Structure 1
Amino acid sequence: MRYLIFFFIIGLTLFTSSCRQDFEFEPSTGGLFFSKDTVYLDTVFTNIGSSTYTLKVYNRSDKDIKIPTIQLGKGQASKYRMTVDGMVGNNNRVFNDVELLAKDSMYIFIEVTADVAEANPTDFLYTDIIEFRHANGEVQDVDLVTLIQDAYFLYPKRFSDGTTETLTIEGIEEPVYGFFLDENDPVNGNEYVWGNDKPYVVYGYAAVPGGKTLNVQPGARIHFHADSGLIVGNGASFKANGTLENNIIFEGDRLEPGFSDVAGQWQTIWLTAGSTGNEIDNVIIKNAAVGLNIDSNDGNFMTIKNTQIYNSSLIGLYAKTAKIRGENVVINYAGIASLACTLGGSYEFKQCTFNNNWSSSRQVAVLLNNYYEDENGAQVPFDLVQADFKNCIIYGSNTYELSLDPATSGLFNHSFTKCLLKFGSSSNPLYSFLFDNPEVKRNENPKFLNIQNNQLNIGDDSAARGFGDDVSVPFDILGNPRTTPFDAGAYNWTTFQD
């Protein structure tokens, strides 16, 4: 029996060894297929690395092949980098004898970091090719195209001892990675004027100290890196006055389409306590943690007009004991609240649209509050002198899109006149004013054009059509004149085009 087992093992070994065939790779002669003939790496800022893009290469033949050379057309001088099937090759630019099995494929991952001076001066495109050089002399190639944008870069100074500039902010224990703007920066010039000749890219917190004013001009584009933002200090001013034709845009610095609506890419625009003379008009704020963070002003009302705030991971407009007049303000998508008026204050919003379709069961469109709790859990009240909403839409994906959170003492004054609200049934006396009230339309659909794309325009069948009064906001957010019967919300109704 022992010999039978021995001969069985010997036979099995001979059988398996006779069936095994080592792969024999033939030099390639062309015929590769590609997932795309041009790889567009979208737009990047000068000298800022891109995201990683993918090209898939197919060998659809029945032969195992070896590609003699895969390389970037500009060779080692190329500003593109790639990995081929997980390999880095010669400095991520040249690869030799790359093997590819029959009926198989491989991935090439591509990145770029280039200066605008290296791009084509007429269209600012930086280009190259990936060459696949075969044994018979045939060359196949795939184009690489990237748009390079020049920009003003604002960031903390680095000192000779290796440390970087930081800011000390009241109420925050640790220094914040940030810097004060400079009137005479050797590279950027006057950093208190942000123009529209090229974008601004901010790293860390850019700060405006007391006595200074940051003027943001029509058409300016400001991009914040992760964990970055803008701080306007006590006694400082922020004036961002765009126009209907030239909005000012604040957003993140990831320019790829996949990041166009990703919340929380940067922190906030923070108008701290005591900031003065702030003005915001025709501004778009996208993809922050908190779009506008407004503390108690200088005691005077500040104005926010014709402003859109979208995709805030926490709050769109976060006000604390502030004084704000808002007209034609549109806020959509926020993790907690589109508008949060907290710690009391005075607010008047006319012809505004506050919607919240964040995918959560706890988000709301509007939150009103007049206290905070100290470390012992005791309420510290602040007077909510007024919170007046006129001709506004307060809507969203949840059953209750208005949250009232009063203290046991202190003023908590609010009014909703000719407003369309989303709010379910309730026996809470706080909300009794919403029921059987001709000044309020409850749970009637505004029928926005496209909520997901932040298009909160209303159509001819919207419940907001014709529901408003004349509240002295003569034009809608698109500059169209308002006429009787007036609509609720920031947009006049229009007939949607298919």
Structure 2
Amino acid sequence: MRYCVLFVIAALALLTASCRNDFEFEPSTGDLSFSRDTVYLDTVFTNIGSSTYTLKVYNRSNKDISIPSIRLGQGENSKYRLMVDGMPGKVFNDVELLAKDSMYIFIETTIDYSEYANDNTTFLYTDRIEFDNGANYQKVELVTLVQDAYFLYPQRNDQGQYEAVRYDSDDNPGEPVLLKGFNLDHNDPNNGDEYLWNNTKPYVIYGIATVPDGETLTVDPGARIHFHDESGLMVRPGARLVINGAPSADPEVLENEVIFEGDRLEPDFADIAGQWFGILLMSGEENIISNLTLKNATVGIYAKAPQGDDTTIPKLTITNSQIYNNRNFGIWAVNANISGTNLAANNAGVASLACTLGGTYSFKHCTFANYFNNFNQVPVALNDYEERPDAVYIAAMDAQFDNCIMYGSGNLGLSSERRAEEPFSTRFNNCLIKIVDSANRLRNNSLYPFDGNVPELAAYNDGCIIANGFSITPDFTAPFDNVLTLGEDSDAIDAAVNIGIITDITTAVRPNPSTGIPDIGAYEYYAAE
């Protein structure tokens, strides 16, 4: 009997459902709601596809409706592309939307700047998504800023193979190690002299742009260089890199700063690490970087001689520069010679500065921080070895840090390792270094600059502040957002020694005339007025 009752109930439910007018859609009356009234597709480079943006369309009524038409204002001639209910196109008819329901419209664009030639390097491209017509007409505006650029990329031969450049030494025996890339050209038919990157419009790099032996790449103040995924810049032995950035009046616009970053300009990509490879610095010539902001690479600057080259010592002088948000390293120097002044580096998956396989280093008034969301990342890592498939290689280390900050979200601002009895000299003068060593595992390790270490040992400090807890801090303004200016409670204020660096990374006078004593790190503290 119980089963008969259940059968009757199920039958009645089925009959009731069959009587509903589920498939009767009424014409829309123009009462649609939208998640936004204007969709900004942010900035795109000419002929480069945008990200996919979304618009949500709501039917807030109690009736199932049919929207007679959804279309782009310029119809089939529009540079925008839509996807509605899973169907791509530019004009859609009789689009159904259930009561109290919503749907997504996906929007993309690719625009050829040359079709809209003018005297500027950017222009606004606009259109609209139109819903219905007449008294029921509704619209949502679409806006995109299109930017012209120089495009540098490897060519293909008749077989469709890309150009390649050598990654290992030219003298390395055996099969060469090749990367998809190209040598720059003094007389490129589209870009002119590619050994001078100017500020007239941005550069977009595909593959590994290479400066070969005997050539110099010069980058002008205000240049903007964008690298596609897995792309980068390689400076071969015998070549030079000269980045001539200059101080900027506007700290937001950075009009004279040189900027190296990825080619995704949408805000969602502004702080995403690993969007491009980085700078491969293989040259022992006088390479100079000034006023550079480099961000979102895998390795910001990778200073290492190519495989098979045992004589080149990569060399770099870097000043007034910022290196942020790199997947592995901000600067990775392998037996290199680097001098840095007023350098700020933060947020790297392994280390903001790594000096490995020894080398010669001098850093003055630098801020090395690391707040990257990763396990055991450190601001500074020093060691004298490199593990290779055939052996462990060892080289002498000589590094000096004057008036520098080494501080991050982990317990250690400094990691130091020594594998052999090669000379290992590391000197820390008037630095603020975080070393939280609650178990006293490092206190008697001569590689760490605790009080009592003397110059004869591997590491010693002269006037350093060791932050062994959280009571001593640089009080960075917003370190997770790469704002490493000092707060009013910073222990770095008035804790440095004057070593003749008369301005900070922002060109503010050092020391602050109100105290006459410089601050530790790249930034001089000035109280807000």
Q: 1:434 aligns with which of 436, 440, 450?
A: 450
Does residue 1:266 correspond to 2:276, yes or no? yes
**Equivalent residues in 2 for 1:162-201 (5 A)?**
162-170=160-168, 174-201=177-204
Aligned AA for 2:481? N
Does residue 1:373 correspond to 2:387, yes or no? yes
Residue-pair matches, total: 488
| Partners of 2:313 and 2:335 within 8 A in 1 | no
2:417 aligns with 405
- Using the TM superposition, give the Cα deviation of residue 35 of structure 1 relative to its aligned residue in structure 2, in angstroms: 0.8
2:492 partner SS: coil
- Using the TM superposition, give the Cα deviation of residue 249 of structure 1 relative to its aligned residue in structure 2, in angstroms: 0.3
2:15 partner SS: helix
**Compared CA separation, residues 175 and 375, structure 1 to 2 (3 A):** closer
Distance 2:281 2:247 in 1: 24
| Partners of 1:120 and 1:126 within 8 A in 2 | no
| Partners of 2:443 and 2:450 within 8 A in 1 | no
Aligned AA for 2:109? V
Distance 1:59 1:207 in 2: 55
Distance 2:83 2:522 in 1: 50
**Compared CA separation, residues 108 and 411, structure 1 to 2 (3 A):** same
Give per-residue Cα distances to partners, 1:122-174, cap 9 Å, x unaligned: 7600000000015x653110000000000000000011221111112217965
| Partners of 1:309 and 1:330 within 8 A in 2 | yes
Distance 2:48 2:337 in 1: 40
Distance 2:319 2:276 in 1: 23
| Partners of 1:284 and 1:307 within 8 A in 2 | yes
Aligned AA for 1:156? P
Structure 1 range deviating more: 71-80 or 477-486: 477-486
Q: 1:110 aligns with which of 99, 104, 107?
A: 107
| Partners of 2:80 and 2:110 within 8 A in 1 | yes
Q: 2:153 aligns with which of 152, 155, 160?
A: 155
**Equivalent residues in 2 for 1:414-425 (5 A)?**
414-425=426-437
1:334 aligns with 348
Structure 1 range deviating more: 365-374 or 63-72: 365-374
**Compared CA separation, residues 350 and 217, structure 1 to 2 (3 A):** same
Aligned AA for 1:283? L
- Using the TM superposition, give the Cα deviation of residue 19 of structure 1 relative to its aligned residue in structure 2, in angstroms: 3.5
Give per-residue Cα distances to partners, 1:356-390, cap 9 Å, x unaligned: 111223111111111123436x5321111x20000
Structure 1 range deviating more: 340-349 or 429-438: 429-438
| Partners of 2:417 and 2:447 within 8 A in 1 | no
**Compared CA separation, residues 17 and 217, structure 1 to 2 (3 A):** same
Distance 1:352 1:433 in 2: 17
After superposition, the CA RMSD in angstroms is 2.1
| Partners of 1:264 and 1:287 within 8 A in 2 | yes
Distance 2:123 2:270 in 1: 22
- Using the TM superposition, give the Cα deviation of residue 452 of structure 1 relative to its aligned residue in structure 2, in angstroms: 1.7
2:205 aligns with 202
Structure 1 range deviating more: 356-365 or 189-198: 356-365
Distance 1:7 1:392 in 2: 83
**Equivalent residues in 2 for 1:244-263 (5 A)?**
244-245=247-248, 246-263=256-273
Q: 1:491 aligns with which of 504, 513, 523?
A: 523
Distance 1:131 1:36 in 2: 14
| Partners of 1:418 and 1:488 within 8 A in 2 | yes
2:251 aligns with none
**Compared CA separation, residues 435 and 271, structure 1 to 2 (3 A):** same
1:87 aligns with 87
Distance 2:13 2:509 in 1: 88
Does residue 1:239 correspond to 2:242, yes or no? yes
1:249 partner SS: strand
Aligned AA for 2:235? V
Distance 1:208 1:220 in 2: 18
Structure 1 range deviating more: 468-477 or 427-436: 427-436
1:266 partner SS: coil
Q: 1:319 aligns with which of 333, 336, 354?
A: 333
Aligned AA for 2:140? V
Structure 1 range deviating more: 295-304 or 454-463: 295-304
Distance 1:465 1:11 in 2: 80
Aligned AA for 2:268? G
**Compared CA separation, residues 7 and 360, structure 1 to 2 (3 A):** closer
Structure 1 range deviating more: 124-133 or 449-458: 449-458
Aligned AA for 1:479? T
Sequence identity percentage? 49
| Partners of 2:284 and 2:313 within 8 A in 1 | no
Aligned AA for 1:344? G
2:488 aligns with 460
**Compared CA separation, residues 22 and 417, structure 1 to 2 (3 A):** same
For normalisation by structure 2, the TM-score amounts to 0.88
**Equivalent residues in 2 for 1:336-375 (5 A)?**
336-375=350-389
For normalisation by structure 1, the TM-score amounts to 0.93
**Equivalent residues in 2 for 1:54-73 (5 A)?**
54-73=54-73
2:446 partner SS: helix
| Off by >4 Å, runs of 4+ in structure 1 | 4-12, 118-123, 171-174, 296-301
Give per-residue Cα distances to partners, 1:339-360, cap 9 Å, x unaligned: 0111111100000000011122
1:472 aligns with 500
1:258 partner SS: helix
1:125 aligns with 124
| Partners of 2:304 and 2:313 within 8 A in 1 | no
**Compared CA separation, residues 318 and 30, structure 1 to 2 (3 A):** same
Give per-residue Cα distances to partners, 1:452-482, cap 9 Å, x unaligned: 2211111332100111111121111111121
Structure 1 range deviating more: 22-31 or 7-16: 7-16
2:478 aligns with 450
